Amino acid sequence: MTKNTNREEKDFNREIYKIYIQNEISHPEFVQNRDRFIKIHWDDKKRFIFPAFPAFGFSLPVFILIALLAAYVFRVPAKTSKAPPPEIGDVLTNGVSPYKIHENNVSVMRVSSKAGPTMVYQKMYDDVPLTIVWVFPGEIN
Amino acid sequence: MQDPDQQLISKAKEGNQDGYAKLVKKYYEMVFTVAYGVLNRREDAQDAAQEVFLKVFNQINNFEEKSKFKTWLYRIAVNDAIDIARRRKPMEPEEKINTVAASLPKPDAKVLQDETNEMVRSALDSLSPEHRAILVLREWDDLSYEEIASMLNLDLGTVMSRIFYARKSLGKILTPNFGKRS
């Protein structure tokens, strides 16, 4: 009889204890806190702007950074659309170049022109030259 | 025996965030209840559980897979919770903290639940963190005496005497109170 009573008491107290713990994990904040914690520390999605293309999500900020750098370096925009197209003779009339860079088959030259300051970029591809000419109209050297 | 979490562990070891997130989601309740059983306060248990998961994430490559991940995590959780409980400042009595809340009218069932919770909480506060740890492992998680002994590096006799003492102390407070009610 006493043994049974003790067992009943033990079981009863055990049940009360289990309810006490259960109440805590049934608390509505419990799941919210868990999910917030996981999201803060281990949610891959938050790391990328484009979850389906994580590499693109990473490359976009790099692209923006390069664009900003380029904008900073070339602060004077090339107004090619508004300027009258210079004649070849006008652009490269004077071979005198204040500076010239030669490296890896690439040469960058600054030349004088009636149209304005002009930059020439040349790269040799298997003896075929690629030439790009930038003209900054209106600015006289 | 194959660890059911093997795939997720391998992913986590490779630095896969999603793999570890799944492990956290799976075992959060287990770690929280162990911490709550030992610390006996919701906020402390939450902090402790989160500390455990961050610690395990940083040490996942040290997991040699000699035991199951669940057992390894359990061991870290219970031992860390005991350490935190030992370092913790003495707590304010709950009566002081809940003065304002207690003065508000509540439905009968809520009053009864709050009273019961308070009674269990104060009964548990009278136990040491080590006794509370054994109680939660045995009564809530249903671990065997052998498993508890291995987890806490104790001999079987110590585990048995501690569980006996913890149950008796809890019974001293709970049985008379619930006896009066029925």
Taking CB atoms and an 8 Å limit, are A18 and B139 in contact across chains? Answer: yes
Taking CB atoms and an 8 Å limit, are B18 and A21 in contact across chains? Answer: no
Taking CB atoms and an 8 Å limit, are A16 and B178 in contact across chains? Answer: yes
Please say whether the dihedral angle defined by the alpha carbons of residues B155, B159, B160 and B165, taken in this order, is positive or negative.
Answer: positive
* Whether pLDDT at A141 is above 50: no
DSSP letter assigned to residue A93: S
pLDDT 10s digits, B68-86? 999 999 999 999 999 999 9
Alpha helices for chain A (secondary structure H): 2-25, 28-42, 54-73, 88-91
Q: Which domains does chain B have, with CATH numbers?
A: 1-91 (1.10.1740.10), 95-182 (1.10.10.10)
Q: Does residue B24 belong to the interface with chain A, where contact is any CB pair within 8 Å?
A: yes
Residue of B nearest to A39 (CA): B21
Neighbouring residues of B161: CB distance < 8 A, sequence distance ≥ 6: none
Q: Is the pTM of this model over 0.90?
A: no
Taking CB atoms and an 8 Å limit, are B57 and A41 in contact across chains? Answer: yes
Q: What is the pLDDT of residue A105?
A: 72
Taking CB atoms and an 8 Å limit, are B28 and A34 in contact across chains? Answer: yes
Mean pLDDT of A6-32: 89
pLDDT 10s digits, B40-79? 999 999 999 999 999 999 999 999 988 899 999 999 999 9
Candidates A34, A35, A36, A48, partner chain B, best to mutate (most B CBs within 10 A): A34
Mean pLDDT of A77-96: 52
A100 or B85: which carries more pLDDT confidence?
A: B85
Average pLDDT over chain A reads 71
What type of residue sits at position B36?
Answer: Y
Mean pLDDT of B10-27: 93
Q: Which of B57, B116, B46 is nearest to A29 (CA)?
A: B46
pLDDT 10s digits, B95-146? 444 444 455 566 677 788 888 889 899 999 999 999 999 999 999 999 999 9
| Residue ranges of domains in chain A | 2-73, 88-135
Taking CB atoms and an 8 Å limit, are A19 and B116 in contact across chains? Answer: yes
Contacts of B24 in chain A (CB under 8 A): 34, 37-38, 42
Do the beta carbons of residue B44 and residue A58 sit within 8 Å?
Answer: no
Do the beta carbons of residue B175 and residue A9 sit within 8 Å?
Answer: yes
Candidates B14, B24, B113, partner chain A, best to mutate (most A CBs within 10 A): B24
Helices and strands, counts by H and E, chain A = 4, 4
> Which two three-digit tokens encode residue A35?
């999910």
Q: Give B 58-77 residues with CB within 8 A of chain A.
A: none
